[in-house]
Amino acid sequence: MWAGWRSVYVAAAGNGELVGEGSIFRRILDSGMSDEQAHIVWRGEHVFAILNAYPYTSGHLLVMPYREVPELEQLDADESAELWEGVKGAVAAVKAAYRPHGVNVGMNLGEAAGAGVPSHLHVHVLPRWSADSNFMTTVAEARVLPESLTDTWRKLRVAWPATA
């Protein structure tokens, strides 16, 4: 239940590193932080993959275009194609790094659909294991993560396929 590693994220948001225009993702991209500091696992020409700062489980990635758009149909052809390639790369990296029993891939488009950042569409990719729900999430509304975001970043960065 210890989450001391989150203090880096909170400090960055509070000390002015993540101020600016746009979504939190746009502010991270514009912050000048290194990919390791920002937990950006992969960069393509139009799309990138970043760790979820508040993951459901270790290995929870978000794949999204650099351009901040809220709707899937607003992506141009290059962004659409690379988004799917990025999702495929994320799935391959999650499988290689974590050996899960399954993988969830999904999008929440709009606030009513549950989007936490509705202005910047993103695809969730996260590993799942048989019977991976536990009483902490159900009863305490808390998650237990066995590793820091930096450890997760390193694992997924190494596991990311070279062709993606």
Annotation says 39 is catalytic: no
DSSP-derived 3-state class of residue 65: strand
In terms of DSSP H, where are the helices of the chain? Answer: 6-14, 24-30, 35-38, 77-98, 135-140, 149-159
- Look at the block and give the residue holding tokens 């020409």: 45
At residue 54's C-alpha, the angle toward residues 50 and 35, to 5°, is 25
Which residue out of 39, 60, 122, 124 is catalytically annotated? Answer: 122
Instruction: Tell me the β-bridge partners of 43.
Output: 48
At residue 80's C-alpha, the angle toward residues 78 and 83, to 5°, is 105
- Look at the block and give the residue holding tokens 């709707």: 71
| Residues labelled as active-site residues | 122
